Amino acid sequence: MEKNINLTLKIWRQAGPKVKGEFETYKLDNVSTDNSFLEMLDILNEKLVKERKEPIAFDHDCREGICGMCSLFINGHPHGLDGETTTCQLHIRRFHNGQTITIEPWRSAAFPVIKDLMVDRGAFDKIIQAGGYVSVNTGGVPDGNAIPISKVFADEAMDAASCIGCGACAATCKNGSAMLFVAAKVSQLALLPQGKVEAAHRAKAMVAKMDELGFGNCTNTGACEAECPKAISISHIARLNREFLSAKFKD
Amino acid sequence: MWLLDSSIGRKLIMSITGVFLVIFLLFHSIMNIVVIISPEGYNAICAFLGANWYALVGTSMLAAGFVFHILYALYLTFQNMRARGQQKYSVTKNQKSVDWASQNMLVLGIIVLGFLGLHMFNFWYKMQFAEISGIHTGQFDPANGAAYVEDLFSNWAYCVLYIVWLSALWFHITHGVWSALHTLGLNNRTWLPRVKMFANIISSIVILMFMSIPVYYLFGCAT
Ligand code: HEM
Ligand code: SF4
Ligand code: FES
């Protein structure tokens, strides 16, 4: 049922990467509970523009939970309190009248703030470029049944492939570790015959890039899995460890 | 060297030294519990593990294990704090599924280390060290472990201190054991809950065996 509520928003404002940021408080009245969280920010930005103030910069693109662009650390949780949803799938009906909402950017040494709530997640692209692909000449389209893949492996690879690279795992991790993301990207290929060929090289190259970019050491707290909008399981991290260690011992 | 430069290499050292220490604790606790069952039997073990070459090799390996575990723990934690970044979140919430111990491994380790110093002074210094050096550091014969145990735990404050210490160690290893196996890659979706259960059982057995000793003396069962 639609109703309107009043919100107090504590939002991180930072003019640029090198500038010191701070929280600013905004009052937003009469927000429909049918609005999505990002629509609420749009309304606030329109208001700011009308008042001739600088609107708040935040990342978003698909607004349907598939692109991984939206970020936002909302009241202590990446993508807000709800499990298995992205910020763009969060709705104002999950908040109550008069509530104060604290909105922060991802904070991690490897994700520097560009402006306000927008961070540079290029580090993840660099990790993918280091080896998150299959480099074989595939020729024509092969027959669908030519390469048998067991249902178990197909499902596990599919689950890993649902990672949208949003960065919530590294943002929430007390160690600033990107292991869940890297594990998902290594697993989705290592489990399939096409990806197995380069599995050893891939695991080594992607982990080396991850370390080089300044992400932390995983201590298996499991916070990443709890906050991941796609519920990627930490069991993929065990697979990454396995792939990496066996590749190193073979050298 | 990838054991120093790569995060998973560093974690490998953490997990191997950690598992090694847990295996040591398992043997240590089995030997200790003998003091309740038979003080004479316990003294026989103490005499056997005195200043012999095998006991000394064992002790040196153990010390090396500790040193590596602690150095890597400090290095890892320092790097992790740097990776987290300068600017902290103003609001953070814990997730229900995250164990408290897993977020506080360094603190728990430091508590364990502090008490370990006390423990070495209470026993090792007066037993193995006395035997190696020939200096008489305690009031009993170095191989008379049972007398030292009884003497120390006749003081209730020491019983309580040891119980607190062992509780911290329990938290450290309940997370440590499964985390170490996970780091070694010995885990998957089906085994994850089983490996965690295994870690809880092993940790609880070890700690209960140790703890039964101060509890036994605290409640005056010896007299
Ligand atoms: C009898 C003593 C100890 C035992 C049995 C033990 C055991 C373990 C085990 C099994 C792990 C898991 C390794 C992994 O996750 O791969 C671990 C992790 C850890 N230990 Fe210990 N430990 C002991 C003493 C200490 C001490 C004295 C310190 C620090 C001063 C310490 C600091 C840490 C830290 C920071 C971790 C987390 C690192 C990580 O999970 O990657 N530990 N310990
Ligand atoms: S593993 Fe989950 S939290 Fe991490 S980047 Fe992928 S979808 Fe986002
Ligand atoms: S905007 Fe695309 S996932 Fe949220």
Calculate the CA A210 to chain-centre distance: 15
pLDDT tens readout for residues A78-103: 999 999 999 999 999 999 999 999 99
* Cα→Cα distances A230→A67, A135, A164, A169, A201, Å: 12, 27, 8, 11, 26
pLDDT tens digits, A120-129: 999 999 999 9
Residues with CB under 6 A from ligand 3: A 60-63, 65-70, 86-88
Report the alpha-carbon distance of residue B31 to residue A190 in Å, rounded.
46
Q: Give yes or no for a contact between B130 and B136, defined as CB atoms under 8 angstroms apart.
A: yes
Q: Model confidence over A20-34: pLDDT tens digits?
A: 999 999 999 999 999
Interface predicted TM-score (ipTM) of this complex, two decimals: 0.92
- Is A145 within the bounds of a domain? yes
Of B92, B187, B188, Cβ closest to residue A76: B92
Rounded mean pLDDT, B177-188: 96
Tell me which residues of chain B, numbers 17 to 56, contact chain A at a CB-CB cutoff of 8 Å: none
Asked whether the beta carbons of A51 and A69 are under 8 A apart, the reply is no
- What domain range includes position A143? 122-250
Nearest one of A213, A63, A239 to A124, comparing CA atoms? A213
Tell me, yes or no, whether A67 and A165 share the same domain.
Answer: no
Q: Are residues A243 and A145 part of one domain?
A: yes
Return the number of other C-beta atoms located less than 10 Å from residue A193's C-beta. Answer: 10
The nearest CA of chain B is from the CA of A145 a distance in Å of 27
For ligand 3, the distance from its centroid to the CA atom of residue A72, given in whole angstroms, is 11
CA distance B149 to A177: 44
Boundary residue ending a domain (A104, A131, A146): A104
User: What is the CATH classification number for the domain harbouring B111?
Assistant: 1.20.1300.10
A69 and A35 inside one domain:
yes
Q: Looking at residue A143, what is its pLDDT?
A: 83
Nearest ligand to the CA of A78 is 2
pLDDT of amino acid A147:
85
Q: What is the dihedral of CA B103, B66, B110, A173, to 10 degrees?
A: -20
Residue A138 binned pLDDT confidence (cut-offs 50, 70, 90) = low
Residue B197 counted as domain residue: yes
Same domain, A44 and A18: yes
Phi, then psi, of B3 in degrees rounded to 5 = -75, -15
Q: What is the structure's pLDDT at A1?
A: 66
Is there a single domain that holds both residue A84 and residue A171? no
- Residue B102, judged by CB atoms within 10 A of its CB (0-12, 13-18, 19+), counts as buried
CA distance B154 to B143: 19
How many folded domains does chain B comprise? Answer: 1
